[in-house]
């Protein structure tokens, strides 16, 4: 993860300019001729310097025929390259060694291009995506109904919701409208499909609202908001460092799959109030994940294309989050047995203990 092999192909006429650019970002590279009047440079580049190198190459050569860049992961480098031990000198020529604080805050993430490549396949509306979303929701629903936590965890492992969820936060950070629309469409279709099938399941099986696994999805606690924020931040941190999407996806699915499954079960069994409360938890978690995701992407150094668009979208998500926090806070201020917020209010008095 700490280094990448970057292969750059340029026309012979651009060799000199290419060498100057490469020398500003790495200390070890090789040059070899390739057919059709082209030259290939192979460079060992520290991961944190990939973004700047690709951006400078794109600015200089994107309209030149024959130019291309290929980024490959490197498992090991011997001997070590200097850039992996300390921050490279700035392009202005400053040779002052970096402080420990500067080294600590250096971002070690994959490049924006690699993030796009990692997330691209997960945004396609294919039968496999829909089938996996539906099956994960059904498994979670049945696991919660019977109180089997292990089954619910298994459902979260297979849920493919990480891609569109991370893509929404990434699109907001970059100001990429096209990516945002694709992510929104994929996520909404997946959620609606899961809701539809768990709704049908709820019509044909008995659903006990007192089962803790189900009941907990009808009340939003401050801890739930903190959990969703932590899931969003942890998901982005792992995703931006190239971790396996399947492993990272569990952090996101833990905040999305159970509320979807619970909402479908309750709505299908005729418990509309409880179903809408579960949907409120789902909406709260989605907002938290996006707020935390945008902040974490910015901390990781993901460069917005337009700060006005990025800040505008972030403020909208933040205002919605504050509204939800106010609603959750209101529940505790007016009492947990209020029918607007508490699932206990819709249960018989003999079952809840209230008289």
CA torsion sign for 164, 165, 168, 169 is negative
Distance of CA 251 to the CA centre of its chain: 9
The helix, strand and coil proportions of the chain, stated in percent and rounded to the nearest 5, come to 65, 10, 25
pLDDT for the residue 159: 82
Domain co-membership, 80 together with 151: no
Instruction: State how far the Cα of 118 lies from the Cα of 166, in Å rounded to an integer.
Output: 11
CB within 8 Å of 92: residues ≥ 6 apart: none
Name the domain boundary from 81, 104, 127.
104
- State which of 57, 86, 104 marks the end of a domain: 104
What confidence category does residue 355 fall into, taking pLDDT thresholds of 50, 70 and 90?
Answer: very low
Taking only the tens place, the pLDDT of each residue in 64-101 is: 999 999 988 888 877 776 665 544 444 444 445 555 55
> What's the confidence (pLDDT) of residue 18?
93
Domain interval for residue 177: 112-352
Q: What does the pLDDT read at residue 330?
A: 75
Q: What is the pLDDT of residues 251-307, one digit of tens each?
A: 778 889 999 999 999 999 999 999 999 999 999 999 999 999 999 999 888 888 888
**Over the stretch 222-253, which tens digit does the pLDDT of each residue have?**
888 998 999 889 888 888 877 666 666 777 78
pLDDT reading at 19 higher than 80: yes
Q: Are residues 277 and 334 in the same domain?
A: yes
My answer on whether 118 and 52 are in the same domain is no
Same domain, 258 and 118: yes
**Residue after which a domain boundary falls, among 36, 71, 104:** 104
Q: Which residues contact 100 (CB under 8 A, 6 or more apart)?
A: none
Domain count, the chain: 2
Residues 6+ apart with CB under 8 A from 195: 137, 260, 263, 264, 267
Contacts of 120 (CB under 8 A, 6+ apart): none
Least confident of 178-187, 229-238, 291-300, 346-355: 346-355
Contact indicator for 183, 164 with CB cutoff of 8 Å: yes
Please, which residues have CB within 8 angstroms of residue 226's CB and are 6 or more apart in sequence? none
């Amino acid at each position: 993860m700490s280094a990448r092999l970057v292969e750059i192909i340029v026309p012979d006429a651009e060799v000199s300019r290419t060498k100057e650019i490469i020398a500003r970002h790495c200390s070890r590279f090789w040059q070899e001729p390739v057919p059709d009047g082209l030259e290939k440079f192979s460079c060992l580049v520290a991961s944190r310097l990939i973004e700047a190198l690709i951006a400078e190459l794109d600015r200089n050569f994107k309209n030149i025929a024959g130019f291309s860049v290929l980024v490959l992961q490197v498992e090991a480098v011997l001997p070590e390259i200097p850039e992996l031990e300390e921050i490279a000198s700035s392009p202005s020529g400053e040779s002052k060694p970096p402080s420990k604080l500067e080294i600590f805050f250096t971002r070690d993430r994959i490049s924006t291009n690699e993030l796009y490549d990692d997330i691209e396949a997960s945004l396609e509306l294919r039968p496999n995506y829909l089938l996996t979303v539906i099956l994960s929701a059904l498994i979670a629903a049945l696991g919660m109904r019977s109180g089997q936590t292990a089954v619910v965890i298994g459902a979260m492992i297979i849920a493919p919701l990480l891609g569109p969820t991370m893509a929404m936060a990434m699109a907001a950070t970059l100001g990429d409208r096209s990516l945002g629309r694709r992510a929104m469409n994929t996520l909404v279709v997946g959620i609606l499909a899961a809701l539809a099938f768990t709704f049908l399941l709820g019509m044909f099986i008995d659903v006990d609202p007192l089962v803790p696994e189900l009941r907990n999805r009808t009340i939003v606690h401050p801890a739930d908001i903190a959990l969703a924020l932590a899931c969003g931040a942890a998901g982005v941190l792992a995703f931006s460092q190239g971790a396996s999407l399947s492993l990272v996806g569990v952090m996101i699915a833990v905040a999305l799959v159970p509320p979807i499954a619970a909402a479908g079960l309750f709505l299908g069994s005729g418990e509309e109030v409880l179903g809408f409360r579960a949907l409120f938890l789902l909406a709260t978690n989605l907002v938290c994940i996006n707020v935390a995701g945008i902040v974490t992407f910015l901390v990781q150094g993901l460069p917005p294309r337009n700060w006005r668009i990025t800040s505008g979208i972030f403020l909208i998500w933040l205002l919605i989050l504050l509204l939800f926090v106010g609603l959750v806070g209101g529940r505790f201020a007016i009492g947990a047995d209020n029918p607007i917020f508490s699932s206990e209010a819709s249960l018989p008095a003999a079952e809840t203990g209230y008289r």
